[in-house]
Amino acid sequence: MGHCATDAEFVSLKIAVLTVSDSRTEETDTSGQTLKERATKAGHEIVEKRIVIDDVYQLRSVVSQWIADDGVQVILVNGGTGLTGRDVTPQALTPLLDKHVPGFGELFRQVSFEEIKTSTVQSRAFAGLANGTLIFCLPGSPGGVRCAWDRILEAQLDNRTRPCNFIALLPRFMET
């Protein structure tokens, strides 16, 4: 984790978790469960968790509803970021973004390289902002989810992380 300010009080976020898979069920969704457990352990509130098949329009429908919901501040999507024909998360969700956060995908592949070496080039992990909601799209593998949360998201979704974090910017995302 980054440097923490000891005098700041932790801010809990309202997080929705979406698993993109044609084959996983609630019982077999280890990646979605990992995100849910880690976010909860960090002090955040999981407001909804769903599984959606690899379908552009179903993905857009669910994520659009969450983007429009003031009760969702962060969306964590896992799955569908690879290169196979069924991997459609980037095509489905990038059109919904108001702003891209290219540094997330770049950093994810950098830290992932330490674990899986050159295989990280096959990841299309990305992040962005839509209607003031942070959206992070991660690989569907348990290792990829752990890497993203443990190495990037836990710190960036903690207002105590210094020198900066996403939470400090939340009130300013909708500025005009």
CA distances from residue 73 to 51, 68, 97, 108 in whole angstroms, order as listed = 19, 10, 14, 21
pLDDT of residue 119: 85
Using one digit for the tens of pLDDT, what is the confidence trace for 55-98? 999 999 999 999 999 999 999 999 999 899 999 999 999 999 99
Decide if 51 is inside a domain.
yes
Position 70, amino acid: D
Decide if 85 is inside a domain.
yes
CA distance 147 to 115: 9
Closest listed residue to residue 31, CA positions, set 152, 146, 176, 115: 146
Structural domain range at position 27: 16-169
CA distances from residue 143 to 80, 109, 133, 171 in whole angstroms, order as listed = 15, 13, 25, 32
Token pair, residue 81, equals 């970021």
Using one digit for the tens of pLDDT, what is the confidence trace for 98-118? 999 999 999 999 999 999 999
Please report where in the chains the tokens 């962060």 appear, as a residue.
74
Domain count, the chain: 1
Percent of the chain's residues with pLDDT above 90: 91
**What CATH number has the domain bearing residue 66?**
3.40.980.10
pTM value is 0.96
CA distances from residue 110 to 79, 106, 115, 137 in whole angstroms, order as listed = 19, 6, 10, 16
Decide if 160 is inside a domain.
yes
pLDDT of residue 147: 98
pLDDT of residue 3: 67
